[in-house]
Amino acid sequence: MEDNELWLRHFLGLGVQTGVALYIFILAWSGTRLSVIAIPMILAGLVKYGERTRVLRSASNEQFRDSMLTSPDPGPNYPKFMQEYALRQFEGFHVKAEEVIEAQVAVDVSSIGDSCIPDATELVIAFELFKTFKRLFMDLILSFQDRENSQSMFKEMSPEKAFKVVEIELGFMFDVLYTKAPVIYSSQGCILRFVSMSLTSIVLVVFSLFVADKEKYLKFDLVMTFALLAIAIVLEIYAVLLLLSSDWVDFYLSRHNKSIFGKAMAYVQLPKNPRWSNSLAQYSLLNFCLKTKPVICCTMLKPFCFDKILEKQQYKTLKEVSPDIKEMIFDQLKKKFKETFETGRDNQSSDEGLIENSSSEKDLKGQSLMLKKFGKPELTWSMEFEFDQSILIWHIATELCYHTDHQGTIMSKCKMSKQLSRYMLYLLVMHPSMLPMGIGNIRYRDTCAEAARFFQERKSILGDDQFDNISSLGICSLIMNWIRKGKTAYDKSQACKMLLKVNTAVPPAKVKGDRSKSVLFDACRLTLQLQDIPNKEAKWER
């Protein structure tokens, strides 16, 4: 998105390169047909470069935000209304002013019918949601009606359909921010695409049939010219096929129910690639601290500042998102929608005193959640942290609990919780900008440092060789570590047990103060309290 803000630089480059091209063209003008057919090629290049500059401008923050702003709305004529109001009261009528509540307008999918376009209903719903939520990318707010409309769309959906709608919606958003979609799928974009392709085709035809003095040129130059023109036309045709195979075209066909045209389009559309990988990135703090997958030649890469980057990538893995996880996430969202609606309906009070009571309300909410979920209000302290702090604490607690409870009938629930926990830590470590602002990176580094020191002090129990200077390991050591994969798993289980043996009667914050932001033993304290829950099913309950 940063490139979109540089559209002025690209516009300047367009002007400079166009001027240079025209200068060279004038100097090289010979009056022959070959000089004449250079004009449409310059125009085709100008169209292509100008199209790119226009796309960058339309996707820049200022232009994108302006495109979403509606025309200024002064609202009803208040003085005129009050004049009418006073007049009716003076005439003896009983006049009462009531607030007008806008009715929710559901997305109309009745016109889709038996569309030949796959996922036609999902396309229409996703596009409506895209038009609503794209405002959030520009820090604009949504109205109450927007929230109600979007929630009503998901109420009757299955988890599979809901995820399909969201992935199509995000695809639309990606196209707007990172591709030429805003220009290409407009009427002007279609005209410019046709002009560009026509000019290139005309040049190829004229050069093939009407340039008579080809013998003056080297055979290699002629072959290269034909090849470049042919490749340019092939690329244009391929680009058109990609356009016809996109969700934007499918949405247009679905919305306008062009069944005959849609059937014809099915024969020219390219095979569709999956819209997303259907996988979640995973990152485990314990794996990183135990150095289960050391980086080869880490010492050699250190001067180039690549060691930390490669080390993080080394511990990043991908896990397929199962239907059970999708169902769990969707059910939790629906429950949250319901709770929010009921809370908003029951708390129809004034705004006075909300700031003063926010802390106590948060405490009551945490107690209510812990009492409802685990029957243990003493776990309320684990809900009182900042968001990035909670991610770290609950991630470590999930890892520790997993290595003690991942057997029997709750195995699937343990895996799902671990998978979501590792994904949240991946966001915290790799993409902190996707989370609320905080000091998550500092907390993560301090926690890793404390965990590394803890394991280093107890390396005789876990195995001396595992905590030697990992950065100096060679290929042979890496192979040996891979062969001893079973021992590594055992060491991780041993590490979890050793962490849980630490006495956490005194809260770690009272010992460390503000000197360190590590939450390692806060997580151990939480794990020990979770282990006191007799019903393991409740602990891993959705």
The helix (H) or strand (E) run that includes residue 283 is strand 279-283
Rounded to two decimals, the pTM is 0.78
Query: What residue spans of 406-439 are helical by DSSP H?
Result: 411-430
Contacts of residue 19, Cβ cutoff 8 Å, sequence gap at least 6: none
CA 499 – CA 493 distance, rounded (Å): 10
CA 130 – CA 137 distance, rounded (Å): 11
Name the amino acid, one letter, at 392: L
- Is there a domain that residue 194 lies in? yes
What is the β-pairing status of strands 279-283 and 316-320? antiparallel
- Is there a domain that residue 369 lies in? yes
Tell whether 287 and 383 lie within a shared domain: yes
Tell whether 214 and 297 lie within a shared domain: no
Tell whether 300 and 224 lie within a shared domain: no
Give one DSSP letter per residue of 177-203, joined into a string: HHSSHHHHTSHHHHHHHHHHHHHHHHH
Tell whether 369 and 484 lie within a shared domain: yes
- Is there a domain that residue 353 lies in? no
The pLDDT assigned to 448 comes to 93
3-state secondary structure of 532: coil
User: Are 34 and 221 within 8 A, CB to CB?
Assistant: no
Q: Tell me how far CA of residue 42 lies from CA of 53, 214, 227, in angstroms.
A: 16, 21, 18
The pLDDT assigned to 1 comes to 59
Tell whether 327 and 212 lie within a shared domain: no
Half-sphere exposure (CA, 13 Å, Cβ side) for 472?
A: 4
- Is there a domain that residue 349 lies in? no
Tell whether 532 and 441 lie within a shared domain: yes
Last residue of a domain, one of 227, 245, 263: 245
Torsion on CA atoms 134, 135, 139, 145, rounded to nearest 10? -120
Tell whether 231 and 302 lie within a shared domain: no
The set of long-range contacts for 194-197, using a CB threshold of 8 Å and a minimum separation of 24, is 195/43, 195/44, 195/47, 196/44, 196/47, 196/48, 196/236, 197/233, 197/236, 197/237, 197/240
- Is there a domain that residue 379 lies in? yes
Tell whether 379 and 453 lie within a shared domain: yes
Q: What is the pLDDT of residues 291-322, one digit of tens each?
A: 777 666 556 656 666 667 777 888 899 999 99
Tell whether 234 and 317 lie within a shared domain: no
Domain span at 302: 280-341+365-539
CA 432 – CA 443 distance, rounded (Å): 12
Q: What is the pLDDT of residues 30-62, one digit of tens each?
A: 877 778 888 999 999 999 888 888 888 887 877
The pLDDT assigned to 478 comes to 45
- Is there a domain that residue 169 lies in? no
CA 289 – CA 298 distance, rounded (Å): 16
The structure tokens 């090289």 sit at 28
CA 234 – CA 237 distance, rounded (Å): 5
Contacts of residue 325, Cβ cutoff 8 Å, sequence gap at least 6: 416, 419, 420
CA 40 – CA 45 distance, rounded (Å): 9
Tell whether 231 and 292 lie within a shared domain: no
Q: What are phi and psi of 195, to 5 degrees?
A: -65, -45
- Is there a domain that residue 398 lies in? yes
How many folded domains does the chain comprise? 2
- Is there a domain that residue 352 lies in? no
CA 57 – CA 11 distance, rounded (Å): 9
Rg of the chain taking only CA atoms, in angstroms: 32
Last residue of a domain, one of 245, 263, 292: 245
Tell whether 240 and 323 lie within a shared domain: no
Tell whether 436 and 516 lie within a shared domain: yes
Q: What is the pLDDT along the chain (542 residues), one digit of tens a residue?
A: 566 677 888 889 889 999 999 999 999 888 777 788 889 999 999 998 888 888 888 878 777 777 777 777 787 888 888 888 888 888 888 888 777 666 555 566 655 655 667 788 889 899 989 988 888 877 778 887 888 888 888 888 899 999 999 999 999 999 888 888 888 888 888 898 899 999 999 988 888 887 656 677 788 888 898 899 999 999 999 988 888 888 888 888 887 766 676 677 777 788 888 888 899 999 999 988 887 776 665 566 566 666 677 778 888 999 999 999 999 999 888 888 877 766 655 554 444 343 334 444 444 454 555 555 555 666 777 778 889 999 999 999 999 988 877 666 667 888 899 999 999 999 999 999 889 888 889 999 999 999 988 988 877 655 554 444 444 444 444 444 544 444 444 478 888 888 999 988 888 888 888 888 999 999 999 998 888 877 777 677 65
Last residue of a domain, one of 245, 264, 294: 245
